[in-house]
Structures are given as structure tokens and as C-alpha cells.
Structure 1
């Protein structure tokens, strides 16, 4: 007896030989492959059914690693984290997401893996080039003359000073805000009167109108930092300085800026982390704890601070002649294993319905 897939294939080939059209063949021999859903489609489905058990079953299904390797477990954690974000985008309430799509035991297992991997890398962290050390960077920043046309070095120093992504250079704004006596906005943080807006890497509505984040930079004077940022932005707008992410004709091209940084052995991503690290030391005071330095570094890089971060390390290394200890690097949220393999972004929906029916 032929297996089902072989029999179906032979029937389809026979129908084609008899000049049946594809839609006719599809009607006579329906495709019995199980439907696969992307993570976004899963979230939209859960929002449509409004059934919390659907949320729970999908979260469990996504948390299953493809195998028992560390990489597969961390990848599974990312899928569930993405599922929670997509649920929020689809309009599911935060309480339901927390109860039915958050798997603490799975998160802990993955966090332990990431922490162990990070500790293994700490003995030999990457060195910060002396050219971009705290002392050298501050010296150049303090000596910048805004009456002159900025150079590529000035651009790199301002990016480091504000812990920016290159794509933020043309849009980032520094604003001053003092709340009234009552009802300050949710994003207001007591003790901060300067904030950054129009930064990059937000999702959904926040991408078009992100809430202000606290300002913290290597330059302690916010007005001076704002002056330097505006100086760079004006030069880019008038064509006197090359945009770090776009070519002259408007096409995306990071080659020129990347080539400049390559001569110092770093990337734009590392430059941003170096800037966050330096800002934490400038504002850390005397004898700061590693946790406090990590917190300040995250503020400088405009990270969202809603969730307590599980990591305590900062992997960016010191310059070879520095006597300061390495800073901690935040560790991403993660999840863990359960016993059934699936694809990274999709899985078999019929299995979920089978499981649902057995509850």
C-alpha cells in the first residue's frame, strides 16, 4: 500500500496528464498540510478569539526548543518574548499577557545559560581603543569648536558622547522639561529635567511618537551637549558633513563612517556601548557599584527601564592602560525548554487544537 503522500502525488500527476486545471486538482485532492502560523498571526488569532487558554497554549508551543542545545533554548525564549510583544500590539491586555504568556521557569533556565556564556567571555573582553578612551574622548569633546565645519572625527565623538545609533544622528533631540505642581506625565522621572526624543528602535505606535527618555551623556552640561548635536545636524542638513547612514543621493550607505571606525578596530555598535560606559563613569560618583554603573549606562543608551534586568555584566572592556574595572553588561530576557520540537517562527496549529480539546 502506498503511503498517503505518494498516493496523493500520483493522483495529482494523473489529473495533470488529463489536462485538469490546478484549481480543479486542488478541489479533488485538497492539500492536507497543516497550516502554519507566524508569531504575529498567532497573536492576532488570540486577540480575535479573546480566549486566554489560546494565549497560554501558543506560549507553551513557542517555548519548545528545536533541540536541547543552549542556542535552541535561547532562540525559544526570543520567540515567546516576541509573542508577548505581538499580543500587546494586537490589543491584548497586559494582565492577560503577564498571566498566560509569561513562563518564569523557562525564563530562568535561559537566563542562566546566557549568564554562564557571558561570564565565560568576561576574562578576555574586547579592549576599547585608546583613541576612544574616556580621557581622550572627553578632551576632544571639550575642545570642539562649533564655529568650524565638523569632521568625521567630530561626528564619531558626538555619537559616542550621546551613545547614539548612527541612524539617530539626524533625528535625536534634547529637550528641557519641568513638570507642573500636579499630574506629571508617566515618562517624567524625578530628578531629571532634560530628556531625549525622536530616538530610534521603538515598535508600533511608539515608533512614530516615542515617549521622552532621560538625558545622560559624557558631556555633563546638557546645553553644551545640545549645542554639539545641533551643530552636527545642521552640517548634515546643509551637506557640509556626510550623513553616517545615507549617501549623498539619499540611498542607505554606512560605508564611509564604518570605514572611519574600522581603522580603530571598532564598529558603530561598539562605539555606542563605549559611550554608554563612559557616561556611566562620568556620572557614577565615587566608588560606584557595578549595578549602578550598569543602570547609568542603560539610561545613557535610552534603554527602556520597565523590566528588571537579569544580567549584571557589561562586556565592553577597558583600554589596555586603564586601571578601572570592566563594567557590567545587561543580559537579555530569555526562556527555556519543553518537550517538543517546532520551527522558529511557526508551528502546527492543529496540534494546538488537539491539545486544547484534551483539556
Structure 2
């Protein structure tokens, strides 16, 4: 991989002083040369360590194919036979073209064909719309990617999955009970370097998505820098957490962020990393049910623990606390918090069969 990058840099005279737009022109060829995930990861490392490219520049040169690039053989014109390749990363090439709508529809069709299910399709089409909006594409072009049939199918599947998750719930070991997590949070000495356990506990404390661990900010009773706020004004959300002391929560968060910035901790928000999953799958963390915790489950534990720590007195208050802890928009009246509170809550030492899914909503 190093030899490939070394040769490519020399032949094309690449420099870290080049703009992202210039660098992006090399992405298709580099993705062909670096044909699998391991090669692409090593290639990015070579660009950064060998030629001082920034992490952002490395990903411009070698994009993450799972989100940036989707290829398929599609018919460019109605009834045509010639096959073509579709690449979301190159969507900027089609905006000035007079046949933009048809080309965007072709990209949408390609994403639909190559997706394993309607849920993945809607996610990819949503990504495509974001890319188009970045390019200030007209709403007429963006709307060409909408597919009501696929959206309905996706909603149906997600509803079925939600019901299944609600029926099963998420089990957690005593090590990750509210009592254990709070004891560790209270005992952490921020003058020492944090470990993976501290990272997991802080992620639970603030219901953090791995992707937002480095950018989240707490100030004056508000939280900013959350990942669902992408490409929008950074509207502050109300601070709500199982750790009710805002200053302590802020101290622990900056402690973890400082360790990631200095390299003492790895960033769990890097796409495709497995080390954090491996940490959570250790035998001592396995619930009696045998199903290991996933990084995404920590956010759900945090939402339920926040409801309990803040002493919700009724369904309405519980829903408000959970939504605030999850940093959901107060304008979203679809009650999305119910999808995150599917935890079989029990106190430390309480038998697993006595755990119950926290109900913060009813049929009405």
C-alpha cells in the first residue's frame, strides 16, 4: 500500500497545499488502486504520516466507500444498452449539466439496486440529497431522488424492528448498571489518563454517539456540537444527563476529549473501527443472556438512566427528560425517544428476569 501511494504521489505531484477540490479529482483512481478496506486504511495512513496530509485530506483522496461511493451498472437512458458507473462523490460533476434531473434519477436508481434492503436505500438516498444541497442544487433536482414506495417499505421494516426490540429489550450486566456507572463517574480523577472504561461511562453519561465524542460541548445549561445537527445552525439543546452536576459532566467530557486529541485514547467515531466493540464484548461485560452490549446501546442506557436519575414523576416528564438527554429536537412531536428506551432496567444485583423495559409512553 505504501508503494502504491508513494508512486502515485510522485507521478501526480500531489501536495498537502492542494485544495480539497483538486485532491478529490484523484479519488476514483486511488479507489481503484486501493481495492479493499485494509488497503484504503493503510493508504490514508501513508498520506498522513508520510506526506503530512491532514486526516480530512486523506479521506478526500481515499473516501470511505460505504458512504461516499456506490457503483452499479445502470441504464443511462430509457431503453439504452450502454452501462455506466455511478459515484456519489462525483455528483458535483452533473450539477452544471442540462440533463441533471435524469442523471440524478439514474444515481438514485443505482443506489436502490445496490442496496440490500429499503432501509439502506432510504439512508443512501438521504445522503445523496445532502450532497446535492451542499452544491446548492435546486429543490426540483433534490426532489427527483424521493421514492415514496421505498420510504413506505423502509418505515414498515423499521417499525417491525422497533416492535421486536421493544419485546426483547436490551440487557446489561451489573458492571453497567446505573449504580456502577455513577460510582465510577464520581470516582474518576481527571489528573490521570482515562481508559476505555472511562470512555464508555462518559458516553453513557451524555448519551453520546461515537461520531460526536470530539465535538460535543457543554456550556450554560446547553449542549452543542451534536452530530444530528449537521449542516444546520448549531442550535443549543438543553443539558440533561444522569450526572446532574453540569460542571462535573463538562469536566469529564473535556477529560475524554483531551485524551483523544493527544492520542492517549483512540477515537470511537472513526468509521469501521472494531476495537471498541471488542472491549464491550469482554466476558465480564456479557449479560447473562449472552448478548453483548454494542456502542449504540450505551446511548440507550444513558437515556433510561437519565430518566431515573432525574426522578421523572409521570410519562410526560419521562418523555421530556429522555428527549433532552438524547438531544432530540423539541419541535419533533413524533416521540422518537421511545425508540431509545428499550432497556430491560433493573437495579444492581437484581435478577435478570425481574428487569423491565421502561415505558415512557402509552398507547395514547
Please indicate the TM-score interval, normalised by the length of the shorter structure.
Answer: 0.5 to 0.7
Query: 2:208 aligned with 1:164, yes or no?
Result: yes
Pick the aligned partner of 2:109 from 61, 70, 77.
Answer: 61
Query: 2:172 aligned with 1:128, yes or no?
Result: yes
SS of the residue 1:195 aligns to: strand
TM-aligned CA deviation for residue 243 of structure 1: 0.6
CA distance in 2, matches of 1:48, 1:296: 47
Pick the aligned partner of 1:222 from 231, 246, 268.
Answer: 246
Contact 2:224 2:234 in 1 (8 A): no
Contact 1:131 1:137 in 2 (8 A): yes
1:268-287 counterparts in 2 under 5 A? 268-283=295-310, 285-287=312-314
CA distance in 2, matches of 1:304, 1:222: 20
Q: Deviations over 1:55-99 (max 9, x none)?
A: 8845873585579xxx53333323322222222122124x54675
1:337-348 counterparts in 2 under 5 A? none
Q: TM-score, normalised by structure 2?
A: 0.55
Larger Rg: 1
Query: 2:279 aligned with 1:259, yes or no?
Result: yes
CA distance in 2, matches of 1:225, 1:114: 33
* Residue 98 to residue 324, structure 1, CA distance change in 2 (3 Å): farther
Higher relative contact order (CA 8 A, sep 6+): 1
TM-aligned CA deviation for residue 156 of structure 1: 2.8
Q: Deviations over 1:241-275 (max 9, x none)?
A: x41438xxxxx976478436633132333223322
Pick the aligned partner of 1:86 from 103, 112, 131.
Answer: 131
Pick the aligned partner of 2:223 from 195, 212, 215.
Answer: 195
Pairs aligned (count): 264
CA distance in 1, matches of 2:259, 2:131: 39
CA distance in 1, matches of 2:161, 2:254: 41
Contact 2:218 2:250 in 1 (8 A): yes
Q: Deviations over 1:77-133 (max 9, x none)?
A: 23322222222122124x546754434454223201221233234322230222212
* Residue 161 to residue 117, structure 1, CA distance change in 2 (3 Å): closer
CA distance in 1, matches of 2:335, 2:149: 14
Q: TM-score, normalised by structure 1?
A: 0.56
SS of the residue 1:36 aligns to: coil
Match of 1:318 in 2: 345
Match of 1:36 in 2: 85
CA distance in 2, matches of 1:43, 1:238: 36
Contact 2:175 2:181 in 1 (8 A): yes
CA distance in 1, matches of 2:250, 2:325: 14
CA distance in 2, matches of 1:145, 1:321: 35
CA distance in 2, matches of 1:157, 1:259: 13
Query: 2:265 aligned with 1:243, yes or no?
Result: yes
Hey, which of these two has a bigger chunk of helix by percent? 2
* Residue 135 to residue 264, structure 1, CA distance change in 2 (3 Å): same
* Residue 63 to residue 36, structure 1, CA distance change in 2 (3 Å): closer
CA distance in 2, matches of 1:35, 1:147: 57
* Residue 275 to residue 222, structure 1, CA distance change in 2 (3 Å): same
Match of 1:137 in 2: 181
TM-aligned CA deviation for residue 146 of structure 1: 4.7
* Residue 98 to residue 158, structure 1, CA distance change in 2 (3 Å): same
CA distance in 2, matches of 1:306, 1:59: 32
Q: Deviations over 1:124-144 (max 9, x none)?
A: 223022221223323433444
Q: Which runs of 5+ in 2 are unaligned?
A: 1-80, 287-292, 347-351
